[in-house]
Amino acid sequence: MKTIGRSFRPLFAVAAALGVLSGAAEARDFTIASWGGSYQDAQREVYFAPFSQESGTAFLEDVYLGGWAQFQAMQDTGQIPWDVVQVETSELVRGCEEGVFVQLDWSKLVPKEDMLPDAVTDCGVGMLVWSVVIAYNADTVGKAPATLADFWDTKTWTGKRGMRKGPKLNLEYALMADGVEPADVYKVLNTPEGVDRAFAKLDEVKPLVQWWEAGAQAPEWLAAGDVELSVAYNGRITNAQKDGKNLQMIWDRTIFAIDSWAIIEGAPNQDAGYAFIKYTTDPGRQAAFTKAYAYGPTHKNGVAMVDPERAKSLPAGDNLATGLFGGSQEALDFWVDYQEELTERWNRWVAQN
């Protein structure tokens, strides 16, 4: 099994033993936190509701918007509102190190050898492969953009840009737009000069940027004409296409990674959490989910069950030819080491006129 993180510091476990985590003792229904919008609607249809019906487990939902703030609040207050949460890998690493997430008993889950290698970790079960792309509205844009560099071409495309709020993804995109090859991005970012270079490149588009927090905002803004180009999750754009929106994706220099389910340490419904996660790694269900949302399966047999035509919209194959794997050990080490520092710098940078 792949080990993530360098040292396990069970802060949550210690707090629970001392009786600090009063929220853990409060009875409530099994609660799942994911990324909201049409994406979570699809999860509810394929995973949440069928699991509830078949297991007899009542469930609640909440929305997680990325970053560490919501987990920090749990640490600070001892209140644990969730049992299972979908997280990106850098948060998974930190949560595993700090004891926020349960060290998993894989005997209760899918056999490890059935999963993609990067989907098997100490505290998380990879549940999909996702990607961010550059997207545009073909009905409203003049000349169609074709590369990541076009996102920075403010003379040809003069309109607003949508970008995800926060340093992660944006610093990588900025360096690639400045000519850094995907294989060298984290080597460059690991230097003060590289970070300065990324922020300088972002300065070029900053006056035109609207920062989105929820993944649903990017396609909504594109469809409404609020932005001309936007960084967006590929699945959100594909789902908007299904709803009749003429949004298109640019796969050049895409950033892709794996999201995982994690169980919160001290949460009251951990057994249900194990059962739910095992349910969502069934290959047939994962393949069915690709029909609702264009993210890739993590079960090896699930990949083989995806319709070839649908696979053209997934982060897979030729679509990843120039991509950056944001779930690499190099990427994880970088964000675990520097996320807090870079988020503070990011917040100062965003606040500057």
Q: Based on the domain organization, do 67 and 35 belong to the same domain? A: yes
Give pLDDT, residue 327. 87
Which range, of 169-178, 186-195, 298-307, 341-350, averages the lowest pLDDT? 298-307
Do 219 and 340 belong together in one domain?
A: yes
**Per-residue 3-state assignment (H helix, E strand, C coil) for the chain:** CECCCCCCCCHHHHHHHCCCCHHHHCCCCEEEEECCHHHHHHHHHHHHHHHHHHHCCCEEEEECCCCCHHHHHHHHHCCCCCCEEEECHHHHHHHHHCCCECCCCHHHCCCHHHECHHHEECCCEEEEEEEEEEEEECCCCCCCCCCHHHHCCCCCCCCCEEEECCCCCHHHHHHHHCCCCHHHHHHHHCCHHHHHHHHHHHHCCHHHEEEECCCCHHHHHHHHCCCCEEEEEHHHHHHHHHCCCCEEEEEEEEEEEEEEEEEECCCCCHHHHHHHHHHHCCHHHHHHHHHHCCCECCEHHHHHCCCHHHHCCCCCHHHHCCCEECCCHHHHHHHHHHHHHHHHHHHHHHHCC
pLDDT digits over 292-310, tens only? 889 999 999 998 899 888 8
47 with 112, same domain: the answer is yes
pLDDT(149) > 70: yes
Q: What is the predicted pLDDT for the residue at 304? A: 85
Residue 102: CATH number of its domain: 3.40.190.10
Same domain, 18 and 110: yes
Range(s) of the domain holding residue 304: 11-129+257-325
Instruction: Name the band, by pLDDT with cuts 50, 70 and 90, for residue 275.
Output: very high
Domain match, 156 and 295 both: no
Residues 268-275, mean pLDDT to the nearest whole number: 98
211 & 339 share domain: yes
Q: Which pTM value belongs to this model?
A: 0.78
Residue 14 has pLDDT above 60, yes or no: no
Question: Could you tell me if 206 and 276 lie in one domain?
Answer: no
4 part of a folded domain = no
pLDDT score, position 153:
98
In a domain, residue 3? The reply is: no
pLDDT average, residue stretch 115-143: 95
Question: Residue 4: its pLDDT value, please?
Answer: 40
Task: Tell me whether residue 5 is in a domain.
Answer: no
Does residue 138 form part of some domain?
yes
pLDDT, one tens digit per residue, over 57-108 is: 999 999 998 889 999 999 999 999 999 999 998 899 999 999 999 999 999 9
Domain match, 232 and 263 both: no
Is the pLDDT confidence value at 218 over 70? yes
Percent of the chain with pLDDT over 70: 93
* pLDDT of 326 over the 80 cut: yes
Q: Is residue 192 part of a domain?
A: yes
1 domain residue, yes or no: no
What is the pLDDT at residue 185? 98
Mean pLDDT of 144-163: 98
Top pLDDT among 11 and 2 is at 2
Is residue 2 assigned to a domain? no
**One domain, residues 247 and 262:** no
- Position 38 scores a pLDDT of 85
**Are 50 and 107 in the same domain?**
yes
Residue 23 in this model has a pLDDT that exceeds 60? no
pLDDT of residue 65: 85
- What confidence score (pLDDT) does residue 26 get? 61
- Domain membership of residue 272 (yes or no) is yes
Q: How many structural domains comprise the chain?
A: 2
Domain match, 118 and 261 both: yes
283 and 215 housed in the same domain: no
